Amino acid sequence: MLTDKFGVAPADTTLRIIYGANTQQNVSVGIGQLNKVFENLMEFPNTTNAVGAAFNAVKDSLEPSNDEIISNNTLEPTTEEMKYRAYACHAAQNRAVTKNDYEAFCYKMPPNLGSIKRVTVFNDPSGTNRRLALYVLSENNNGEFITTNSTIKKNLKFWLQKNKMLNDGIDIFDAKIINFSISYEAVIDPTLNSLSVLADVDSRLRGLFSVKRYIGENIYKNEIYTTINKTIGVVDTVVVNIKIENGVDYSPLSIDIEHLLSKDGSYINTPKNCVLELKFLDRDIKGMAV
């Protein structure tokens, strides 16, 4: 018998498959990268001599593969993230009623069901009768946002069933990732080495954006100006520009930065189902001394 799951399989036979489970370290696997069999232990109970071309063909037909990214939240939450989650869990009191309650239970999902890095909850504008829209994101081993695979989303929906309000319906969607870069121009103290000062500025900005933003969280340019101006050797910040990045290595989502800027240009107004991510801290921050 031929199937699309197990290659050549015997008819009218129960297959017992033993597989191992990852720890919480190094669990992200790209599409199609789960493709090697390290040990193949097959038993053929109806025969005492499992040798020959037919038996070898069955054994050789075992080919694992993954159609989706296998991901988990592999990085430890920061102190601020822990404070946010602890406060939300305390307020939830083992039931999910408010937006914060649902977010708290999403973060509390047992590790064996998978985990998510960011979640936000809104009333589903396309739904009726208390339907809720959950937007979620996961994280890979490099600390970069990725879409949450369908298995984790199914597990999350199952996990929420026991604590949600009876009349609440739940739909889970992928939040959109918007990658951006920063360029700036600053006046540097002429008595100091400008390259060294710019390196310090870049380091401080990497620290600012190393903590992942929440879904729908705005970016205020004043944060960036303050970070630059507080660096020793910087006299003043002339200009800060934020550019949307897409294409190779970035999110494919293309959007004009002018559509996100506030009327006074002081902050980036992030759509409620999107998250802003400075993906490559080493190359997406560029400074110039003037």
Give per-residue pLDDT as tens, 112-159: 888 888 999 887 656 556 678 899 999 887 888 999 988 889 898 888
Q: What is the pLDDT of residue 275?
A: 94
Residues 32, 91, single domain; the answer is: no
Segment 206-225 mean pLDDT: 93
Which segment, 52-56, 161-165, 234-238, is predicted with the most confidence on average? 234-238
The H or E element containing residue 80 is helix 79-92
Q: Parallel, antiparallel, or unpaired for β 176-188 and 234-245?
A: antiparallel
**Is residue 259 over pLDDT 60?**
yes
The residue count for the chain = 290
Structural domain range at position 93: 79-174
Q: What is the pLDDT of residue 14?
A: 74
Residues 189, 255, single domain; the answer is: yes
Residues 117, 61, single domain; the answer is: no
Residues 59, 162, single domain; the answer is: no
Q: Which residues contact 262 (CB under 8 A, 6 or more apart)?
A: 268, 269
Greater confidence (278 vs 8) lies with: 278
Residues 277, 183, single domain; the answer is: yes
Residues 110, 53, single domain; the answer is: no
**Is residue 180 over pLDDT 80?**
yes
Residues 46, 135, single domain; the answer is: no
- The span from the CA of 131 to the CA of 134, in Å, is 10
Q: What is the pLDDT of residue 1?
A: 47
Domain count across the chain: 3
**Is residue 167 over pLDDT 60?**
yes
Among the candidates 143, 174, 205, a domain finishes at 174
Residues 181, 275, single domain; the answer is: yes
Residues 92, 115, single domain; the answer is: yes
pTM of the model: 0.70
Residues 227, 190, single domain; the answer is: yes
pLDDT above 90 as % of the chain:
36
Segment 80-105 mean pLDDT: 66
- C-alpha angle 224/230/232, rounded to 5°? 130
Residues 7, 58, single domain; the answer is: yes
Residues 210, 143, single domain; the answer is: no
Secondary structure letter of residue 175 according to DSSP: P
